Structure 1
Amino acid sequence: MATSSPAQRIGVVGYGHLGQYLVERILKEGAGLGLTLAFVWNRNSDKLKGSVPAELILDDLSAFADRRCDVIVEVCHPKIAKDFGSHFLSQAHFLVGSPSALSDPELNHKLRQAAERHGRTLYVPSGALWGGQDIQRLSDSGALKAVFVRMSKHPSCFRLTGDTLSDWTEGEGRRVLFSGSVADLCPLAPNNVNTMAAAAMAAGTLGFSGVRGEIVSDTALRDYHVVEVEVTGVNGFSVRTVRRNPAQLGAVTGSATYNSFWSSLLVCKGHGGRVYLC
């Protein structure tokens, strides 16, 4: 008689809106999909009490290996990838929900090496990026010349370092906050440009320094974020997509991205010691 394979054990690092969404779906639907929670960690563990079963709360993230995970999902801050990414990959596949962390060349190289050394997969979710696999295929074939990504949001949706947007006023309209390489943009808006980081990972021949990004504050965008992607290839090839992602005022992540991230998690079954866009 055939036996069913054991459930895939998932560790969730971060319990903001996206973390809560993932935990709730795993608890409700995981059994039917071959998923089970191994642990949930949050910087403020008090936030977990009452909503996450006590036995699943991990107080000390450095003890994650005790929970024997198949996949660890980061959905809180790029610093987690820097501090724990290589350790995660020594024990499990790693879905990095803040791929802006990979704009650091040293960390990018370190995590790629860890994935290869341990035979684990460093998964990069597509998020709000449309056509990521197509960009990757174009890059792999040597036919990719340029990628440009513009993200436009209501100013309340940005989480920027410094005081770039401290003076915004309702009704001011459209303001370009930054235009340049994604490598330079990621440190300015680490929580807002993960879509661009995913594009930079897909466009391997261009990388973070070669992919261009622009963020735009627009007080007219009260109900959605706009993501525009322009891809240029050889022999006059080009594609331009415009995605309108429904989002509430103040929301860093658009609502459609939650389902996209869930779909990415379901892909994380192991793809060898490499980086994989999902």
Structure 2
Amino acid sequence: MDTSSPSLRVGVVGYGHLGQYLVDRLLKDGPGLGLVLGFVWNRNSEKLRGLVPAELILEDLSSFANRRCDVIVEVCHPQIVREFGVHFLSRCHFMVGSPSALSDLDLNQKLQQASVQSGRTIYVPSGALWGGQDIQRLNDGGALKAVFVRMSKHPSCYRLRGDVLADWQEGEGKRVLFRGSVAELCPLAPNNVNTMAAAAVAAGTLSFAGVQGEIVSDTELKDYHVVEVEVTGSDGFSVHTVRRNPAKRGAVTGSATYQSFWNSLLICKGHGGRVYLC
């Protein structure tokens, strides 16, 4: 990289496992890649003490503009996208780590309008989605007919609303928790179906309501998550991929997704006022 080129200032919103990974990479590898950590915000700022340089801790997220970042990365919860997404886009590019929030049609429209008006980009990381850009190309070419995504995980890895999995027991095997549109799935499992949400973004003509998904609890999956994607195009075209993503028991995010997010962040340098799958 040309060391004379200006550095990209990055704000990280959220300090869970994924946020910690991105902050560590930014501090360690960022300068050599033209990336500078502008701030880190976490709902509980005490969690940052001793782990993040004091001058980089942002106590009040509403004052994010004072840090003059070029891109803000959200890796915590869809609620942050709802509360701050439009505000972020008024100042910088925005990488949405919780794209399940985009299943809200009104919010989605407001974010896209803010993106067009500001000329700044809404980045959606592909995460655990394999072949997302291929889906997008098929969609843009008018040849995409259907997308189905199945996510299978150990029951301890799910963070679902309600008591859908309250009675799970070891050794019970597979249990289909829900099958339907991604628009219906996102509110049920906002922290677990971001891969499906990324697929819905790629398949824009189908929308969240048109992309179908299924979440499966499987007590045999103690070391990895499984993501299956079935894509149907015109003239009999079809693709079926199966991705096994190593993951510890209880982990919401598979380990390979961490590197995927980092690779996505390296792309966030401005692609105009639009939604961009990275």
The TM tier, using the shorter chain, reads over 0.9
- Corresponding residue for residue 206 of structure 1: 206
Q: In 2, Cα distance between the equivalents of 1:66 and 1:35?
A: 18
Q: In 2, Cα distance between the equivalents of 1:191 and 1:137?
A: 27
Q: In 2, Cα distance between the equivalents of 1:7 and 1:237?
A: 43
Q: 1:184 aligned to 2:211?
A: no
Q: Deviations over 1:41-85 (max 9, x none)?
A: 000000000000000000000000000000000000000010000
Q: In 2, Cα distance between the equivalents of 1:262 and 1:28?
A: 13
- Corresponding residue for residue 36 of structure 1: 36
Q: In 2, Cα distance between the equivalents of 1:212 and 1:113?
A: 26
- Percentage of matched positions with identical amino acids: 79
Q: In structure 1, the residue corresponding to 2:252 is in which secondary structure? A: coil
- Corresponding residue for residue 48 of structure 2: 48
- Corresponding residue for residue 86 of structure 1: 86
- Corresponding residue for residue 157 of structure 1: 157
How is 1:1-278 mapped onto 2 (pairs within 5 angstroms)? 4-278=4-278
Q: In 2, Cα distance between the equivalents of 1:241 and 1:210?
A: 19
Q: What amino acid maps onto 2:264 in structure 1?
A: S
Q: What amino acid maps onto 1:220 in structure 2?
A: E
Unaligned ranges ≥5, structure 1: none
Contact 2:38 2:69 in 1 (8 A): yes
Q: What amino acid maps onto 1:203 in structure 2?
A: A
By how many angstroms is 1:6 displaced? 1.9
Q: In 2, Cα distance between the equivalents of 1:254 and 1:215?
A: 15
TM-score (norm 1): 0.99
Q: In 2, Cα distance between the equivalents of 1:3 and 1:222?
A: 44
Q: What amino acid maps onto 2:23 in structure 1?
A: V
Q: Deviations over 1:102-122 (max 9, x none)?
A: 000000000000000000000
Contact 2:3 2:34 in 1 (8 A): no
Q: In 1, Cα distance between the equivalents of 2:249 and 2:35?
A: 33
By how many angstroms is 1:3 displaced? 7.4
Q: Deviations over 1:217-250 (max 9, x none)?
A: 0000000000000000010000000000000000
Q: In structure 2, the residue corresponding to 1:248 is in which secondary structure? A: coil
Unaligned ranges ≥5, structure 2: none
Q: What amino acid maps onto 1:205 in structure 2?
A: T
Q: In structure 1, the residue corresponding to 2:198 is in which secondary structure? A: helix
By how many angstroms is 1:38 displaced? 0.5
Q: Deviations over 1:102-148 (max 9, x none)?
A: 00000000000000000000000000000000000111111000000
Q: What amino acid maps onto 1:93 in structure 2?
A: H
By how many angstroms is 1:7 displaced? 1.0
By how many angstroms is 1:192 displaced? 0.2
Q: In structure 2, the residue corresponding to 1:235 is in which secondary structure? A: helix
By how many angstroms is 1:257 displaced? 0.2
Q: In 2, Cα distance between the equivalents of 1:82 and 1:47?
A: 23
Q: In structure 1, the residue corresponding to 2:235 is in which secondary structure? A: coil
Q: In structure 1, the residue corresponding to 2:164 is in which secondary structure? A: coil
Q: In 1, Cα distance between the equivalents of 2:88 and 2:259?
A: 24
Q: In 2, Cα distance between the equivalents of 1:23 and 1:149?
A: 30
Q: Deviations over 1:137-186 (max 9, x none)?
A: 11111100000000000000000001100110011100000000000000
